[in-house]
Structure 1
Amino acid sequence: MDPSQYIAPILGIVAAAAITFYAVSFQQMSQKSFEDAGLENFDRPQLRSTMSAKERRKLKQVRKEKKGSSEEI
């Protein structure tokens, strides 16, 4: 085989290794930054809206009742 035929596969392997190295490095850096920030459980963030649906319904009901009672007076 001609030595020039080996260049493409070798470059592909080197490129894959470089991409893998950088991906793992960035993952470790982000994990370390989360640990430094005190966010140990960063895999499952606890997102919470300002009000739950139940709280919004209750507030809406209270406003509706308040509006109804003020119109009756």
Structure 2
Amino acid sequence: MELSSDVHCVQVSSWRKSAHSMNNGGCVEVGTCDCCGTAVRDSKDPGGPRLAFSVASWRTFHAEILAGRYDLP
């Protein structure tokens, strides 16, 4: 997976939480970024660091999540 190397490109107009998120503070938010594809941030720290994924990398990552690759034992 390739993350965007330009940390200044992450300009997202609206963020959304997963429908699976609970109100326990352990959520991430996802938004679309015109210059890099998809951005992800910690919902508890909206002004903090953000990860930026290319469209292809996000699709790969999302497919791996759905396949259970990152599930805890």
- Greater C-alpha radius of gyration: 1
TM-score, reference length from structure 1: 0.24
**Structure 1 or 2: larger helix share?**
1
**Structure 1 or 2: larger strand share?**
2
TM-score, reference length from structure 2: 0.24
Indicate the structure whose relative CO is greater, using CA pairs within 8 Å and at least 6 residues apart.
2
